[in-house]
Amino acid sequence: MRAVNDFVIVEVKKEAPKNVAGLLLTDAVDTESRYKKAQVISIDKQFKVVKIGDTILYDQHAGHDVTYEDKVYRVIKVRDIAIVE
């Protein structure tokens, strides 16, 4: 599986549930965090700033899920990457 054009394939990192006032908030109900953390699996060679294996923060509403070999990945556009760690 290989990303082409301005797409990036990432594997979303599961965040530990947050404890707010005694309530556990999972990713599904976390409205406070605008960005999600992920690891880059594939990116087109034309982009030099982001490399395979980098950890990024991307807009949580960006892209869509793709299942490949029984694993779920997220496909986003390069412009939706906010931070490269």
Domain extent listing, the chain: 7-84
Q: Which CATH class is domain 7-84?
A: mainly beta
**Per-residue pLDDT tens digits for 54-85:** 999 999 899 999 999 999 999 999 999 999 99
Which tokens go with 46?
A: 């034309």
Helix (H, G, I), strand (E, B), or coil: what is residue 7?
strand
Over residues 10-45, the pLDDT tens digits come to 999 877 666 667 666 665 555 567 899 999 999 999
**Sheet holding 55-59: strands in order across?**
64-68, 71-77, 7-12, 35-43, 55-59, 81-84
Instruction: Decide: residue 76, CB within 10 A, 0-12 exposed, 13-18 middle, 19+ buried.
Output: buried
Separation CA 9–CA 7 (nearest Å): 7
